Amino acid sequence: MESSSITDIRRTGVMLVLSSPSGAGKSSIARSLLDNVQGFELSISVTTRQRRPSEIAGMHYHFKTIREFEILRESGELLEWAEVHGNFYGTLRKPVEEAIVAGRDMLFDIDWQGAAQLRKAMPEDVVSIFILPPTMNELLARLKRRAEDPEDVIATRLKNARFEIEQWRDYDYVVINEDLDQAFQSVNAIVEAERLRRQRRPGLEDFVARLLSETPE
């Protein structure tokens, strides 16, 4: 529980969207943010992709069959969805809407198609950051280092990377991830600034009204 003081102003949550081609280090930055920045929670997507050995259902993804995914999509329970590398991925609507109204910040590790849909659905709330690798060689090295994916999956992801990188202009911010710690510091600076944005802080009305009603002695 964060301690509250007179200058804690009620605000709505930040919807922070991180996108990048696979292997640009987005997941590491996301993890640093969740571990080190107070008040962030991860939006856990639904996917039809096979679970990786290191992944835990309900923590990394909600793993679904294609039929289950279609039911969620058709009943309007997804805020956005996309097909990425041959699998379906989507964001559940309810947890996001609840978090934003309650002033809790949410992190989205989603692709450019999902980012575009979120931006359209909730333009006031979304802040988007595109993470770029320093070189294509480094991107391939990181994809291979992960070693959890088979060769053909790595090849597909590298092929898709060029197209994904071309979407960079649609994002509010771009961070080049040459050094993980520095990239995280940049993302953190963006978060700190966005939390202070006037439009996100309806509580400022009351604060300023009170301030102006004071008569200094």
- Give me the least distance between CB of 66 and ligand 5GP, in Å please: 15
82 binds ligand 5GP (CB under 6 A): yes
25 binds ligand 5GP (CB under 6 A): no
Q: From the list 48, 91, 128, 177, which residue makes contact with ligand 5GP (rule: CB under 6 A)? A: 91
Q: Which of 53, 3, 10, 2 is nearest to 207 (CA)?
A: 10
Cα separation, 163 vs 18, in Å, equals 17
84 binds ligand 5GP (CB under 6 A): yes
How many Cβ atoms are within 10 Å of 103's Cβ, its own excluded? 18
49 binds ligand 5GP (CB under 6 A): yes
Cα separation, 176 vs 20, in Å, equals 10
Joined together, the tokens standing for residue 73 give 């999509």
Beta strands in the chain (DSSP E): 15-19, 40-42, 46-47, 62-63, 78-84, 87-92, 105-109, 126-132, 173-176
CB of 108 closer than 8 Å to CB of 150: no
Return the residue nearest ligand 5GP (CB atom). 114
- Give me the least distance between CB of 87 and ligand 5GP, in Å please: 7
Q: From the list 12, 22, 32, 128, which residue makes contact with ligand 5GP (rule: CB under 6 A)? A: 22
Nearer to ligand 5GP, 32 or 200 (CB): 32
The interface region with ligand 5GP, picked from 4-12, 29-37, 88-96, 172-180 by CB under 6 A, is 88-96
Q: Which of 160, 189, 127 is nearest to 23 (CA)?
A: 160
Q: From the list 9, 63, 113, 207, which residue makes contact with ligand 5GP (rule: CB under 6 A)? A: 113
Q: From the list 69, 89, 130, 184, which residue makes contact with ligand 5GP (rule: CB under 6 A)? A: 89
Phi (first) and psi of residue 194, to 5 degrees: -65, -30
12 binds ligand 5GP (CB under 6 A): no
- Give me the least distance between CB of 114 and ligand 5GP, in Å please: 2
Give Dmax over CA atoms of the chain in angstroms: 73
CB of 187 closer than 8 Å to CB of 175: yes
**Residues 119-178, interacting with ligand 5GP (CB under 6 A):** none
What residues line the site for ligand 5GP (CB under 6 A)? Answer: 22, 45, 49, 80, 82, 84-85, 89-91, 109-111, 113-114
